[in-house]
Amino acid sequence: MRSLDDLLAEGVSGRRVLVRADLNVPLDKTTRAITDDGRIRASLPTLQALREAGARVVVAAHLGRPKGAPDPQYSLAPVAARLGELLGTEVPLAADVAGEDAQAKAGQLGDGDVVLLENVRFEAAETSKDDAERGGLADRFAALADTFVDDAFGAVHRKHASVYDVALRLPHVAGRLVATELDVLTRLTRDPERPYVVVLGGSKVSDKLAVIEALLPKVDRLLVGGGMCFTFLAAQGHGVGKSLLEADQVETCRRLLAEAGDRIVLPLDVVCAPEFSADVETTTVPVESIPDDQMGLDVGPRTVEAFGRELGGARTVFWNGPMGVFELAPFQAGTRGVAGAVAAVDGLSVVGGGDSAAAVRQLGLDEAAYGHISTGGGASLEYLEGRELPGLAVLAD
């Protein structure tokens, strides 16, 4: 796989370079203000290097899940404004994805200039299952530039026109963010320093089953929190009240517990409430005593302490998924406590993107305390599962 440094060594001054970036940031639903610009900041090293080398940079990205047609609420306009602030230069937004305005603005670029294309998912062909449809859009992307740089690690598990098909049409390299992500994830899979502890949270066992199966033979401990823990607790014979439960996964969890022995560590206590609410009255109970009319919405203090002990001696840690409904104040303590223990690890600590990265920022934790915060939750999990990721496979050609 060729790198950005390989491309820069060849010289890019005066050349148009198409960069697929991951700028899929959360927006306030009312004001459309960006609430977390972490992914934009993660794209800067590649973009700045290209600008300094005199490239004419065309950036492609997506935002949210529009239904294959222009939708103002998913416009990249706020992203263009923030990207310009961070780069210290104006970043105009094309009025279309790869149409007449995109062509005109790309053609007007000077050395070191940047233009952002409108949300690539405004084109139904971007995510089409039909190779020919995606290919037609990829042809239009390819007409905008001489070279392709994929720096959107959060999208490399997608066989999309702006990720996969355009790389078949242009000389291509991996951007600096993709290279960094791969370096870190390779360290997790090939020869991690031990003890190696994985912390998994989130809502559903079914979403994480493949990564659990892949990681169990490799880890020293697998700590399970979040909504998914209740299916494991049910597999141990505990009642879980109104907590999230995937009844069809109970037998699978029972098998995993039997195979893993003491390597799977489950919560000891949970914070319960009768409903999701920011001002609801909560009760902390042992996992053996969850009331029938309540739901577990966070792990409790004894669990945080126990998970902290397991993490205290670790040399390698991968964390993906919050311990509870951290968006609501009464259910933040579990995620905050475990996140703090991950940050304190004397070794490599990796936050696996998605809600985990969002929790670090929303809870005001020090991002610099972690070895690496991934920009791709789904991509990082699929890489750890051992799946072939289309956006990486095509770069290796």
Interval 15-47: pLDDT, tens:
999 999 999 999 998 999 998 898 999 999 999
If you average pLDDT over every residue of the chain, what do you get? Answer: 95
Catalytic residue chosen out of the listed positions 38, 175, 227, 378: 378
| Residue 392 forms part of a structural domain | no
Same domain, 218 and 262: yes
Active site residue 204: yes
Answer yes or no: is 105 a known binding residue.
Answer: no
Same domain, 258 and 374: yes
Whole-angstrom Cα distance, residue 231 to residue 253? 7
Same domain, 223 and 279: yes
Domain boundary among 129, 147, 180: 180
Active site residue 261: no
Domain of residue 254: give its range.
Answer: 193-385
Same domain, 132 and 70: yes
Same domain, 354 and 272: yes
pLDDT, tens digit (0-9, with 9 covering 90-100), for 127-141: 999 999 999 999 999
The arithmetic mean of pLDDT across residues 65-94, rounded, is 97
| Residue 219 forms part of a structural domain | yes
Domain boundary among 180, 207, 232: 180
Residue whose entry in the numeric block shows the structure tokens 């300094």:
52
Catalytic residue chosen out of the listed positions 204, 254, 263, 387: 204
| Residue 186 forms part of a structural domain | no
The arithmetic mean of pLDDT across residues 198-216, rounded, is 91
Answer yes or no: is 281 a known binding residue.
Answer: no
Three-state secondary structure string covering the chain: CCEHHHHHHHCCCCCEEEEECCCCCCECCCCCCECCCHHHHHHHHHHHHHHHCCCEEEEECCCCCCCCCCCHHHCCHHHHHHHHHHHCCCCCECCCCCCHHHHHHHHCCCCCCEEECCCHHHCHHHHCCCHHHHHHHHHHHHCCCCEEEECCHHHCCCCCCCCCHHHHCCCEEECHHHHHHHHHHHHHHHCCCCCEEEEECCCCHHHHHHHHHHHCCCCCEEEECCCCHHHHHHHCCCCCCCCCCCHHHHHHHHHHHHHHHHHEECCCEEEEECCCCCCCCCEEEEHHHCCCCCEEEEECHHHHHHHHHHHHCCCEEEEECCCCCCCCHHHCHHHHHHHHHHHCCCCEEEECCHHHHHHHHHCCCCHHHCCEECCCHHHHHHHHHCCCCHHHHCCCC
Same domain, 346 and 217: yes
Domain boundary among 157, 180, 203: 180
pLDDT, tens digit (0-9, with 9 covering 90-100), for 252-264: 999 999 999 999 9
Task: Report pLDDT for 378.
Answer: 86
Same domain, 122 and 202: no
Same domain, 282 and 236: yes
Same domain, 42 and 160: yes
Answer yes or no: is 52 a known binding residue.
Answer: no
CATH number for the domain harbouring residue 286: 3.40.50.1260
Answer yes or no: is 39 a known binding residue.
Answer: yes
> Which residues share a beta bridge with 286?
269
| Residue 187 forms part of a structural domain | no
Number of domains present in the structure of the chain: 2
Same domain, 118 and 86: yes
| Residue 390 forms part of a structural domain | no
Whole-angstrom Cα distance, residue 286 to residue 62? 44
- Bigger pLDDT: 41 or 362? 41
Active site residue 371: no
The arithmetic mean of pLDDT across residues 341-363, rounded, is 90
Task: Report pLDDT for 55.
Answer: 98
Q: Which of 34, 130, 47, 2 is nearest to 396 (CA)?
A: 2
Active site residue 377: no
The arithmetic mean of pLDDT across residues 285-307, rounded, is 97
Model confidence pTM above 0.85: yes
Same domain, 163 and 203: no
Same domain, 10 and 108: yes
Answer yes or no: is 24 a known binding residue.
Answer: yes
Whole-angstrom Cα distance, residue 186 to residue 174? 15
| Residue 66 forms part of a structural domain | yes
What is the sign of the dihedral through the CA atoms of 336, 341, 343 and 344?
Answer: positive
- Given a cut of 80, whether residue 323 has pLDDT beyond it is yes
Q: How confident is the model at residue 306 (pLDDT cuts 50, 70, 90)?
A: very high
| Residue 395 forms part of a structural domain | no
Catalytic residue chosen out of the listed positions 38, 324, 354, 391: 354
Catalytic residue chosen out of the listed positions 15, 16, 20, 39: 39
- Given a cut of 80, whether residue 353 has pLDDT beyond it is no
| Residue 57 forms part of a structural domain | yes
Answer yes or no: is 170 a known binding residue.
Answer: no
